[in-house]
Amino acid sequence: MPIPLRADFDAAGLRAAARRTKDAAQARRLLALAAVYDGVSRTEAARIGGVTVQIVRDWVVRFNAQGPTGLVDRKAPGQA
């Protein structure tokens, strides 16, 4: 069973956030999650985002925890 998205956002709000952001990767992630809010499958959302279903699941977890700011690229863990 897929992890549900937060109830305090909707597809229109995520699309608006995607238009405002300067980060292309965040916009791509927001648009993929907006599609999930619209009722498309996670597989289709993964196609929209250009990633695997597992990555979409990771985005959902980050989005649920931190909102749209959780979808901004972060520094990778580990040694440089």
- Summarised one tens digit per residue, pLDDT across range 33-65 is 999 999 999 999 999 999 999 999 999 999 999
pLDDT at 75 over 80: no
Residue-wise pLDDT tens digits, 5-26? 999 999 999 999 999 999 999 9
Question: Model pTM?
Answer: 0.89
- CA geometry: angle 71, 26, 69, nearest 5 deg: 40
* Exposure string over 9-47, b if 16+ CB within 10 A, otherwise e: bebeebbebbeebeeeebbbbbbbbbbbbeeeebebbbb
Query: Would you place residue 2 in the very low, low, confident or very high pLDDT band (cuts 50, 70, 90)?
Result: confident
Query: Would you place residue 73 in the very low, low, confident or very high pLDDT band (cuts 50, 70, 90)?
Result: confident
Report the amino acid identity of residue 3: I
- CA geometry: angle 65, 71, 76, nearest 5 deg: 100
